[in-house]
């Protein structure tokens, strides 16, 4: 992406900082996040809300994409909302000083402990997934003499064109209340009847890494029709409409995403058009971009430890990380661009398989990756790894999770320390 460059030494830079210097200073594998770019993308989404909805909306960063204290501090200072999906994310946000009245709490099976945390911390919107949770939350709120602000997660019946594992809007999904069966309608009736729940509105999320506007506009239309039906038949007017995240990004040249504002404009056209021609007021619009804010801003740096040429088949380049820090290839066969950071100015003339160090043949960063000719000791940079890499990292094979460094204004700082061997042992009895 446009935050990457090559300096006079021929090294890759991110946000103007030399990645080879970062690799030396902090060691590898290393996640590097460009804070300037994160802030820029937050502002891009916020500007769309200002332009199309007169500022009557909130951009909630979906922190499952990348979560640590520092990112919540950045989000707080950008006046963003957040989406959290667990006690762990909520706790991290609270500990970072984030104002969780601007948080949406998601999940299809929140525990009692998590629901209590949400109530105690004053989460602004608890997104109720199912009828059991609704009843349970009403009970917990009653015990605390509180009224829980909720949204209902609706499955709009829209099929997003994306990987099967990250499609969520269709009827056969574990998330939310189905619209076409009448389940969602009954859920709204129920929610407005509970004394300790305050139904602020509705939510939907159709999937992730979506590269066209069609699914988003279809979902917006369906949700507005539902809002109108609720007003007509139940006299209930939704204040909030949360449309979720899912905006696709460019991982490789094969991906052709739209500028973020184009998705926003297309959806706003549907919503504003609907409100102009029907008897419903425009709800407060929330969106939950995760990947689109975190992914393009991040890279991962590795050191090459060995190269194995298998004649006429392939060349394996082994790096000091792999599925533990980036499980997206083994999960979804995701494609990434990579380059040799210390030879970034040179042409990419090789095609290699970059392999991780885990005891697992499928532990690859990618196959057929075009890179510069490389040798042992070189630094490899994998691009657009800022989302769903660190947040999905594991300790398989008892590998230690890498450090995370933020760069901003040409300066670097540690955001998350590299795990130590004693961190690995911390909970062993």
The footprint of ligand LLP (CB under 6 A) covers 62, 65, 83, 106, 166, 205, 208-209, 244-247, 288-292, 328, 388
10 among annotated binding-site residues: no
Other C-beta atoms lying within 10 Å of the C-beta of residue 396: 15
Q: Was 291 annotated as part of a binding site?
A: yes
Q: Please indicate if the annotation marks 388 as binding a ligand.
A: yes
CA distances from 265 to 48, 78, 206, 220 (A): 7, 22, 18, 12
Question: Measured from the CB atom, is 7 or 214 closer to ligand LLP?
Answer: 214
Q: How far is the CB of 248 from ligand LLP (least distance, A)?
A: 8
**Is 332 part of any known ligand binding site?**
yes
Structure token digits, residue 272: 């504003």
Distance CA 23, CA 29 (A): 8
Closest approach, Cβ 75 to ligand LLP, in A, equals: 14
Active site members:
359
Q: Is 47 left (phi over 0), alpha (psi -120 to 50) or beta?
A: alpha
Rounded to the nearest whole angstrom, what is the least distance from the CB of residue 204 to ligand LLP in the complex? 8
| DSSP state string for 2-65 | TTEEE-TTS-EEETTEEHHHHHHHH-SSEEEEEHHHHHHHHHHHHHHHHHHHTT-EEEEEEGGG
CB nearer to ligand LLP: give 294 or 374. 294
Q: Is 97 in contact with 70 (CB distance < 8 Å)?
A: no
Count of CB atoms within 10 A of residue 347's CB?
Answer: 9
Residue among 201 and 303 whose Cβ is closer to ligand LLP:
201
Check whether 290 is labelled as a binding-site residue.
Answer: yes
Q: Measure the CA–CA gap between 141 and 172, rounded to whole angstroms.
A: 30
Residue closer to ligand LLP, measured from CB, 106 or 125: 106
The least distance separating ligand LLP from the CB of residue 82, rounded to whole angstroms, comes to 11
Tokens of 28: 């590898």
Q: Where are the alpha helices (DSSP H) in 110-178?
A: 112-121, 131-143
CB of 284 to ligand LLP, least distance (A): 17
Nearer to ligand LLP, 67 or 372 (CB): 67
Q: Are strands 57-62 and 12-14 parallel, antiparallel or unpaired?
A: unpaired
Report the alpha-carbon distance of residue 206 to residue 167 in Å, rounded.
6
153 is in an annotated binding site: no
Residues belonging to the binding site for pyridoxal 5'-phosphate are 246, 288-291, 388
Annotated binding residues, written as ranges, equal 246, 288-291, 328, 332, 360, 388
Q: Provide the annotated binding site for substrate.
A: 291, 328, 332, 360, 388
């Amino acid at each position: 992406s446009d935050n990457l460059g090559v300096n006079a030494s021929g090294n890759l830079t991110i946000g103007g900082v030399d990645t080879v210097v970062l690799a030396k200073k902090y060691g590898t594998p290393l996640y590097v996040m460009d804070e300037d770019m994160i802030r820029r993308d937050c502002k891009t989404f916020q500007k769309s809300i200002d332009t199309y909805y007169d500022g009557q909306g909130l951009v909630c960063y979906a922190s499952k994409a990348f979560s640590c204290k520092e990112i919540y501090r950045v989000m707080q200072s950008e006046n963003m909302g957040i989406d959290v999906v667990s006690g762990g994310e909520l706790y991290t946000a609270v500990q970072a000083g984030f104002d969780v009245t601007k948080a949406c709490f998601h999940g299809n099976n929140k525990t009692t402990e998590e629901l209590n945390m949400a109530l105690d911390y004053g989460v602004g919107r608890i997104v109720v997934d199912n009828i059991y949770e609704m009843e349970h939350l009403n009970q917990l709120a009653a015990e605390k003499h509180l009224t829980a602000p909720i949204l209902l997660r609706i499955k709009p019946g829209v099929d997003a064109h994306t990987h099967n594992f990250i499609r969520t809007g269709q009827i056969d999904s574990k998330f939310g209340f189905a619209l076409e069966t009448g389940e969602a309608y009954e859920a709204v009736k129920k929610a407005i009847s509970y004394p300790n729940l305050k139904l602020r509105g509705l939510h939907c999320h159709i999937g992730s890494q979506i590269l066209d506007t069609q699914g988003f506009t279809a979902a917006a239309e369906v949700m507005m029709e539902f809002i109108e039906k609720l007003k007509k038949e139940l006299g209930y007017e939704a204040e909030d409409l949360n449309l979720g995240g899912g905006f696709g990004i460019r991982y490789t040249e094969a991906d052709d995403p739209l500028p973020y504002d184009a998705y926003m404009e297309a959806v706003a056209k549907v919503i504003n058009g609907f409100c102009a021609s029907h008897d419903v007021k425009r709800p407060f619009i929330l969106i939950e971009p995760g990947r689109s804010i975190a992914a393009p801003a991040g890279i991962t740096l590795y050191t090459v430890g060995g190269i194995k040429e298998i004649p006429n088949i392939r060349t394996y380049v082994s790096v000091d990380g792999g599925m533990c820090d980036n499980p997206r290839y083994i999960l979804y066969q995701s494609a990434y661009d990579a380059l040799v950071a210390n030879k970034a100015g040179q042409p990419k003339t090789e095609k290699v398989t970059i392999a991780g160090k885990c005891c697992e043949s499928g532990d690859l960063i990618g196959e057929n990756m075009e890179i510069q000719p490389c040798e042992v000791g070189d630094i490899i940079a994998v691009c657009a790894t800022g989302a769903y890499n660190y947040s999905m990292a594991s300790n398989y094979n008892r590998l230690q999770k890498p450090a995370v460094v933020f760069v901003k204004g040409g300066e670097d700082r540690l955001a998350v320390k590299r795990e130590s061997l004693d961190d690995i042992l911390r909970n062993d009895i």
